[in-house]
Amino acid sequence: MRLNATGFVLLAGLFALSLGTAAPAAAAQSTPQRYAETRARIIVHPRTSFPGPNARRYCRSWLAKEYRVSGTVIVPRMQCWWQ
C-alpha cells in the first residue's frame, strides 16, 4: 500500500498532535505548582564604595555582527555601569 503526499501529511500531523497533547499533561503532573514562587533573587553589590549605597546598575544591550570562519553571526553584547 502506497501513501500519497496528502495521506502522509495527515498521518504525520496526527502523530505530532498525539505527542503534543500527551507531553504537557505528563509534565504538568510532575512539575510543582510553586516553582515560580521559590526562585532565588540575585543581588549585585559594587566592589568599592565609590558609587555609594543607593547606586543603581544600568545596562545597555545590543546585537553585533561577528565575522567568523563559518560565516557572519549575530551575537548579543552588553555594557553595564554604576550610577
The residues near 11 (Cβ < 8 Å, ≥ 6 apart) are: 3
Helix (H) or strand (E) holding 67: strand 57-68
Within a domain: residue 32?
Answer: no
Question: Minimal CA–CA distance to 82: which of 63, 43, 56?
Answer: 56
Within a domain: residue 65?
Answer: yes
DSSP annotation of 40 reads P
Within a domain: residue 44?
Answer: no
Within a domain: residue 81?
Answer: yes
- Residues spanned by the domain of 71: 56-83
Within a domain: residue 2?
Answer: no
Within a domain: residue 62?
Answer: yes
Q: Cell digits for 40? A: 532565588
DSSP annotation of 35 reads T
Within a domain: residue 73?
Answer: yes
Within a domain: residue 37?
Answer: no
pLDDT in tens, 3-61: 566 766 777 776 776 665 554 555 555 555 555 567 778 887 767 777 777 888 999 99
Structural domain count, the chain: 1
pTM of the predicted model as reported, rounded to 2 decimal places: 0.40
